[in-house]
């Protein structure tokens, strides 16, 4: 065991994750949903993608089609909401911006999850975790759990424990969990509950006698590498407390694409960041096209250099695109929405884009008038160059300003208002 003084100096990783994110975002603006079974539906009101704990308790599974649930909804008191990605993207921005105040080292991992680099003794870290949890609840209105550990994999595991065991009060610090309790908790959890272990590996793991997380921790990392991969070996090492998973910068998930990069040298002006975001817009567009996807909502964020002697700033903005698109120009233009928040003179070290409300390209044939005729014709870089030389607004796209043009093509009969991003949908407060 390292001496306590040494341990204090070891950096730790906090994993912050919103509980049942989409359902919690809905509840933040509609308290009548609190305590009721609630599902959020996929595009076109197809099937349940998020379930509140009450809906889970009814036996509703992710992917259950709404037409099968609807006949019993009244009897169950079940509420369904159409997906409202604009609301979720904006809530996500607010959570991330708030978390950025607690650590200079912030990795936005998904729409509702972030890793933060944190330092301190166990008491300080526990207090920090509780402060973050309370601040997100109070200032944004959604519940989060926090796991803090020496590695990302353990931080994710601690977060899971925090969610599933009320005794932790929503914040679980690895260092403070006694060894026998850790083992008992690990022995209870199937191995594929560990971050990065796909369910399809389970059969092969079972054949080696590995069923639970505890079995995995006790497995020989080298044998794991030889039988599986170096990736799985890293997971085992991380579970044993050796950090080996670096920051990820690009990821495509079930319902989002994240694209972020650290800069070789800090960017200190809005103009500089404008160029960076233009490049990212085009690169994100290429990723979407590669996967045959289009996005409807874009979240843009930036972060200052993680050195503590610099002023910290983590601006983030959510933009609803006028139509589902993978178009580099539209994505670039949308990404520029972050620029007014950039403070000249600060040292920005990282920026990123998160695309949500993804859908297959083929399913969304645009009306002819909305087609992006300039797509794939190299007009993006040209426009960028012209506007860099002659100023913003000197050249632009005719239809880029159309507001929510194609929203009606998507069936969203039960969508809540976009409380935070549309003036005409603001929540009303009635004074008695
Ligand atoms: Mg979550």
Mean pLDDT, range 141-149, rounded to an integer: 97
> What does the block give as tokens for 411?
């069936």
CA of 253 to the centre of ligand 1 (A): 13
Gap from CA of 258 to ligand 1 centroid (Å): 16
pLDDT attached to residue 90: 92
Closest CA to 30 of 432, 423, 418: 418
CB neighbours of 237 closer than 8 A, spacing ≥ 6?
Answer: 221, 244
What is the distance in A from the centroid of ligand 1 to the CA of 4? 33
**pLDDT band of 420, cuts 50, 70, 90:** confident
Q: Is the dihedral of CA 211, 115, 136, 260 positive or negative?
A: negative
pLDDT, average across residues 181-196: 95
| pLDDT band per the 50, 70, 90 thresholds, residue 75 | very high
Confidence of residue 387 (pLDDT cuts 50, 70, 90): low
Closest CA to 13 of 91, 95, 92, 109: 109
Instruction: Specify the range with the lowest mean pLDDT, choosing from 18-22, 101-105, 205-209, 298-302.
Output: 101-105
CA of 106 to the centre of ligand 1 (A): 17
Band (pLDDT 50/70/90 cuts) for residue 249 is low
Ligand 1 centre from 319 Cα, in Å? 21
d(CA 17, ligand 1 centre) in Å: 5
Report in angstroms the alpha-carbon separations of 311 from 300, 306, 341.
20, 9, 15
The answer, yes or no, to whether residue 298 has pLDDT greater than 60, is yes
- Residue range 151-158: average pLDDT? 97
pLDDT in tens, 92-115: 999 999 998 898 788 889 999 999
Rounded distance from Cα 372 to ligand 1 centre (Å) = 35
Domains belonging to the chain, first-starting first, are 1-176 (3.30.70.270), 189-244 (1.10.150.20), 250-422 (3.30.1490.100)
For ligand 1, the distance from its centroid to the CA atom of residue 218, given in whole angstroms, is 28
pLDDT tens figures, 335-347: 999 999 999 989 9
Q: Note the pTM of the prediction, 2 decimals.
A: 0.77
- Over residues 226-239, the pLDDT tens digits come to 999 999 999 999 99
The band of 334, judged by pLDDT with boundaries at 50, 70 and 90, is: very high
Distance between Cα 12 and ligand 1 center (Å): 21
Neighbours of ion ligand 1 (CB under 5 A): 17-18, 21, 112
pLDDT digits over 351-382, tens only? 999 999 898 886 545 554 455 555 445 565 56
The Å distance, Cα 6 to ligand 1 centre, comes to 33
Sign of the dihedral through C-alpha 270, 276, 280, 282 = positive
Higher pLDDT, 306 or 120: 120
């Amino acid at each position: 065991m390292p001496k306590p003084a040494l341990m204090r100096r070891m950096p730790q990783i906090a994993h912050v994750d919103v509980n049942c994110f989409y359902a919690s975002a809905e509840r933040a603006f509609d308290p009548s949903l609190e305590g009721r079974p609630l599902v959020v539906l996929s595009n076109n009101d197809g099937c349940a993608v998020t379930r509140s704990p009450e809906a889970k308790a009814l036996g509703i599974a992710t992917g259950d089609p709404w037409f099968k649930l609807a006949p019993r909804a009244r009897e169950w008191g079940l509420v369904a909401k159409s997906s409202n990605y604009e609301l979720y993207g904006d809530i996500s921005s607010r959570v991330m911006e708030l978390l950025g105040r607690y650590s200079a080292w912030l990795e936005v991992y998904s729409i509702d999850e972030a890793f933060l680099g944190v330092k301190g003794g166990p008491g300080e870290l526990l207090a920090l975790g509780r402060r973050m949890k309370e601040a997100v609840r109070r200032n944004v209105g959604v519940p989060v759990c926090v796991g803090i550990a020496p590695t990302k994999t353990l931080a994710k595991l601690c977060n899971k424990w925090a969610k599933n065991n009320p005794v932790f009060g929503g914040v679980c610090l690895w260092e403070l969990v006694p060894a026998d309790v850790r083992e008992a908790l690990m022995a209870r959890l199937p191995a594929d509950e560990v971050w990065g272990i796909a369910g399809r590996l389970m059969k092969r793991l079972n054949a080696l006698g590995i069923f639970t997380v505890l079995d995995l921790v006790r497995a020989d990392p080298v044998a794991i590498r030889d039988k599986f991969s170096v990736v799985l070996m890293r997971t085992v090492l991380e579970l044993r407390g050796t950090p080996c998973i670096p920051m990820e910068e690009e990821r495509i998930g079930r319902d989002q694409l994240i694209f972020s990069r650290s800069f070789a040298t800090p960017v200190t002006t809005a103009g500089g960041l404008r160029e960076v975001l233009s490049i990212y817009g085009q690169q994100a567009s290429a990723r979407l096209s590669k996967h045959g996807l289009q996005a409807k909502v874009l979240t843009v964020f930036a972060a200052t250099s993680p050195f503590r002697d610099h002023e910290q700033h983590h601006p983030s903005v959510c933009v609803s695109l006028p139509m589902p698109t993978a178009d580099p120009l539209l994505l670039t233009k949308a990404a520029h929405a972050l620029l007014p928040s950039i403070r000249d003179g600060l040292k920005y070290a990282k920026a990123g884009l998160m695309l949500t409300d993804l859908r297959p390209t083929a399913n969304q044939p645009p009306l002819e008038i909305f087609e992006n005729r300039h797509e794939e014709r190299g007009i993006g870089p040209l426009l960028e160059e012209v506007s860099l030389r002659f100023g913003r607004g000197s050249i632009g796209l005719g239809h880029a300003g159309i507001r929510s043009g194609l929203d009606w093509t998507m069936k969203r009969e039960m969508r809540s208002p976009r409380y935070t991003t549309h003036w005409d949908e603001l929540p009303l407060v009635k004074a008695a």
